[in-house]
Amino acid sequence: MKLIDTHAHLFSEEFDRDRTEVVERAIAAGVTKMFLPNIDSSSIASLLKLEEQFPENCFAMMGLHPGSVNEKYGDELSIVEHWLAKRRFCAIGEIGMDYYWDKTFVPQQKDAFEKQLDLAKKYALPAIIHQRECFDDLFEIVRSKNDKNLRGIFHCFTGTLEQANKIIGLGGFKLGIGGVITYKKSELPETLKHIELNHIVLETDSPYLPPAPHRGKRNESSYIALVVQKIAEVKGISVEEVAAITTKNSEEVFSL
Ligand code: NI
């Protein structure tokens, strides 16, 4: 069974102690490919180092995370552009908007997001999108930029069926499903019953959002098996089928 983790921050300091073991554990669990969304200029060195260590399994994205957008975002975007011009990355990410933590830099977040969607189109790369408490504003931006060249993933999708259908209607976007689907109070299982599996990709968002029964601990890519199990249960199909379809979807997004 081959699985793909489309979103894992395995380069972050939470894994400094045992990063190699974590990646090897994932590979042993069938998670042969892990896609690494960048955060900001401070994470690039460790991001590239991990990719260099596991060139067959770990793939670096380039982008500026909305949580790192502040008054200096122009400098950060220049660094993103510098790296994109210098070498090939697997995607533009992680980009997007977040009204949950801080609304101080909303105009800057919007501008950074728009500029990075343009970079995704310029380099013909998928856009890996983070959104929290800002769906309508963010969706409007994606819709205004959407064309047949724009594609990607709405990462950590936990929204309504109506929102899912809007994303699917864009044409080139998949929904990233992770540990949240295993949470007791999550409405995601019910929503997922009405969404075809060909719109879904798997993710962990490691080290965040570990699936049950690991809640409150550090997440890692090997735990994606628990997400697969839950999706299989919700859809009433085998884990092998969930793995095959979601892997094919991920390969499509990342042009593998
Ligand atoms: Ni993330």
CB 82 within 8 A of CB 76: no
pTM for this model (two decimals): 0.97
Distance between CA atoms of residues 187 and 180, nearest Å? 9
CA of 6 to the centre of ligand 1 (A): 10
| pLDDT value of residue 146 | 98
For residue 105, what is the domain's CATH number?
3.20.20.140
Q: Please identify which residue in the block is written with the tokens 């069926």.
A: 161
CA of 67 to the centre of ligand 1 (A): 10
CA of 155 to the centre of ligand 1 (A): 8
CA of 8 to the centre of ligand 1 (A): 7
Q: Using alpha carbons, list the distances in angstroms from residue 229 to 26, 173, 179, 189.
A: 16, 23, 11, 12
Give the HSE-up count for residue 131: Cα atoms under 13 Å, Cβ half-sphere: 25
CA of 156 to the centre of ligand 1 (A): 8
pLDDT along the chain (256 residues), means of 10: 97 98 98 98 98 98 97 97 98 97 94 98 98 97 96 98 98 98 97 98 98 97 98 98 98 96
| pLDDT value of residue 102 | 85
CA of 33 to the centre of ligand 1 (A): 16
CA of 28 to the centre of ligand 1 (A): 23
Of 57, 48, 61, 55, the residue nearest 24 (C-alpha): 57
CA of 205 to the centre of ligand 1 (A): 5
Distance between CA atoms of residues 90 and 108, nearest Å? 25
- Listed in sequence order, the residues at least 6 apart from 165 whose beta carbon sits closer than 8 Å to its beta carbon are none
CA of 148 to the centre of ligand 1 (A): 25
Of 180, 187, 190, 178, the residue nearest 225 (C-alpha): 178
Residues with CB under 5 Å of ion ligand 1 are 94, 205
Q: How many domains does the chain have?
A: 1
CA of 94 to the centre of ligand 1 (A): 6
Q: Which residues pair with 52 in a beta bridge?
A: none
Domain that residue 152 falls in: 3-253
